Amino acid sequence: MAITINDQQDIEKMRIAGKLAAEVLDYIAPFVKAGITTEAIDKLCHDYMVDVQHTIPAPLNYAPPGHTPYPKSICTSVNHQICHGVPSDKVLKNGDILNIDITVIKDGYHGDTSRMFYVGEPSIQAKRLCEITYQAMWLGIHQVKPGNTLGDIGFAIQQHAHKHGFSIVEEFCGHGIGKKFHEDPQVLHYGRPKTGLKLQAGMIFTIEPMINAGKRHIKQLGDGWTIVTKDHSLSAQWEHTVLVTEQGFEVLTVSAGSPAAYTS
């Protein structure tokens, strides 16, 4: 496992890329309302990234081994879609919940973040799922400091989700990020304390729990990308890119419109 330890120059570039990714989510927020299609959201984000920020949308034509190139600039996962939802002519309706996942490349460095959005007024269960998932992400982030392990992060997330009767998707995880979109380590959202890789200052990775209202089991749709819950239950995800500092952590994907950090 080749883990990148970033120097000050890398970290500064990652701060810029992370903030830009978060600012795309700030920009798109007012457009997320009933009647818009996820394809229209993709087009707005694409144009903002390319024309305003002069960033590159990392997902566009991204093709890991065994996959066809991803056809859009962002991922939009609605309701029971867990992740990698491909924007389409699907019209958002009142009560939907939507994850928008943004990754930009700026000066060769990747900024990666996602947020949940409510379309109108969601159900009590949908709202609770989104809130618990957000809290779980932050409880994982609070475990980030030199000497702690990846297992500490996963355990904090898993415990919070299970306590509230929700399940954790195990097939997808956070990841190291920098000059590459996905690199080591894999950051699982479940685990045992004091197990797994020991954290060191200079590591940068994403924490992005996917939490289901029903069972954890998943299936892939025919487009080869979109992942949904097998039992059609709702799913939520939040994502930040996090730097391990000498003292603890720094969240790199924060902008003016980011929701406030959760502290238990």
The structure's pTM equals 0.97
CATH of the domain at 140: 3.90.230.10
pLDDT of 109-150, one tens digit each?
A: 999 999 999 999 999 999 999 999 999 999 999 999 999 999
Q: Does residue 257 belong to any structural domain of this protein? A: no
Q: State the DSSP string of the chain.
A: -------HHHHHHHHHHHHHHHHHHHHHGGG-STT-BHHHHHHHHHHIIIIII--EETTTT---TT-PPP-SSSEEEETTEEE-PPP-SPBP-TT-EEEEEEEEEETTEEEEEEEEEESSS--HHHHHHHHHHHHHHHHHHTT-STT-BHHHHHHHHHHHHHHTT-EE--S--EEE-SSSSSEEEEE-SS--TT-SPBP-TT-EEEE--EEESS-S-EEE-TTSS-EEETT---EEE-BEEEEE-SSSEEES---TTPPPPP--
Q: What is the number of structural domains in the chain?
A: 1
Q: Does residue 88 belong to any structural domain of this protein? A: yes
What integer pLDDT is reported at residue 264 of this predicted model? 76
What integer pLDDT is reported at residue 194 of this predicted model? 97
Q: Does residue 210 belong to any structural domain of this protein? A: yes
Q: Does residue 239 belong to any structural domain of this protein? A: yes
Average pLDDT for residues 74-87, to the nearest whole number?
98
Which residues span the domain enclosing 186?
Answer: 8-251
